[in-house]
Structure 1
Amino acid sequence: MTKALFVSLSLISAALAQSNTTNNTAVGIEAIQAHFSNAGIVPSLLATFDPSALMTVDYSGVGDIQPGQALSETQVSPTPSVSITPANSSVQLGSNFTLMMVDADAVGTDESAGQTRHWLVNGVTLGNGTSAENVTTSSGIAITEYAGPAPPSGSGPHRYVILLYKQPDTFTPPANLSTANVGVSVFSLSSYIQETGLEGPVAGMYYTVEEGTATFTPSATSAVVTSTLPVPSGTSSGTASGSGSSPSQSSNSNGASAAFGSISSLFMIAAPVLAAVAAI
């Protein structure tokens, strides 16, 4: 193999890897949007949810959590690591962001009464990642240090929603939430967003924690079927439940379509490169 051909094939491989990463991120964003809607987070907590990045939340001893995954208080007691994978260049790494986690209570809760704030850090930054960018809180102002969930016994599965917002240049927090170590308390997420002008959410994730047995019947939610979501060319689809189960394997037809799409992408990328090699 000539050096020129080797370099060309390496470029093709890299281009295909980048294409697959972009497709997977796009499908992941479509899925988390569907999860937020089916879990009632949209529109009860958030009027809309149109993220530009995919969020990964990792708890020590648990690993990367799935949307809506049922976890115990012990599992989510340590501060998680958070990273995002941008879908495009609209997420500017040099910007300041606000990271927060709120308790949206059980499905069907009237969110107008406010939410318990379990985590709020202003001035967080992104970086030090590879394909995913780590959310770095060390340089930010921790208004509320991370406080693990502790829902009242019998109150049903509480939805803990982690969100990342972009701070505008004019960002100024309200006076009562402008200094570090304010602690856990009830606030209005919608009012906070409106007052500060935060943009987004850029990305989000949620899980559930339940203590004891619910003394009522929580509102029903529907499963998220990822095979029905818009899928970019060359990406396989699958099925995932709304309670945090992992996506199932694609059907044979979907797998064949994905394979054909990848082969087509290979030829589209390879054709001009190989033509250039032939001309050497």
Structure 2
Amino acid sequence: MADVQGLFKKHCIVPDVISIAPSELVEVQYPSGLKVDLGQELTPTQVKDKPVVKWASKDTEYYTLAMVDPDAPSRENPKFREWHHWLVGNIYGGDLGKGEVLSDYIGSGPPKGTGLHRYVFLIYKQPEKCDFAKIPKLPSNSGEKRGKFAIAKFAQQFKLGTPVAGNFYVAKYDDYVPKLYAKLKG
């Protein structure tokens, strides 16, 4: 079993994103078959499509999934921390298809010359079904309203507690990034 908590601390996800690391691993697999392995380096090309995400869920519980980049625009100057790439709430029984998409998936797009960015997946167990009516619904072709997000504040607002599962990878600029930016401009 991977040391999720240890690697979250080693890579400073604790305290940059959350104050308490999850103890369980969330499985993240991209359509190409590539699986995220805690802290490995991937390319924006490899992670451009929405992955399949699995964790030790209970059939009668609700969950929230978040994917955030705390290093926007760079780790040295994270003035947009956190940029959220994906946010799905009210996931019933671990079935993402039954969740409420608050922000549709956008793959990694670290700007040229900004080095490695951390991309963090977190799963929270909700105390009950949440009312996300006031949360803007963001499509996958828009980067609007994604910067300066804080999953810890969001979790506090909806009484989600600490994350139950997590995973992350790191990525830096590659030649897919300009294509992603063009898509985000519509």
Q: What TM-score bracket applies, with the shorter chain setting the length?
A: 0.7 to 0.9
- Contact 1:141 1:180 survives alignment (8 Å): no
- 1:76-111 CA-to-partner distances (Å, cap 9, x unmatched) read 001111111x3xxxx533111111100121896576
**What is the correspondence of 1:208-247 to structure 2 with a 5 Å cutoff?**
208-211=170-173
Q: Which has the larger radius of gyration?
A: 1
- Matching residue of 1:118: 85
Question: Per the alignment, do residues 61 and 142 of structure 1 end up closer, same or farther by CA in structure 2, a change over 3 Å counting?
Answer: same
Query: Residues of 2 paired with 1:111 and 1:174: CA distance?
Result: 29
Q: Of 166, 173, 176, which residue of structure 1 is paired with 2:125?
A: 166
Q: Does 1:97 align with 2:63?
A: yes
Percent identity, aligned pairs only, is: 30
- Contact 2:89 2:101 survives alignment (8 Å): yes
- Contact 2:4 2:22 survives alignment (8 Å): no
- 1:241-261 CA-to-partner distances (Å, cap 9, x unmatched) read xxxxxxxxxxxxxxxxxxxxx
Q: Does 1:59 align with 2:30?
A: yes
Query: Residues of 2 paired with 1:142 and 1:195: CA distance?
Result: 18
Q: CA RMSD in A?
A: 2.5
Q: Which amino acid aligns with 1:97?
A: Y
Structure 1 length as normaliser, TM-score? 0.54
Structure 2 length as normaliser, TM-score? 0.80
- Contact 1:68 1:207 survives alignment (8 Å): yes
- Contact 1:124 1:139 survives alignment (8 Å): yes
- 1:142-161 CA-to-partner distances (Å, cap 9, x unmatched) read 11111111010111100000
Q: Which amino acid aligns with 2:18?
A: L
Unmatched tracts of structure 1, length 5 or more: 1-26, 127-134, 213-280
- Contact 1:174 1:195 survives alignment (8 Å): no
More helix by share: 1
Q: Which amino acid aligns with 1:54?
A: L
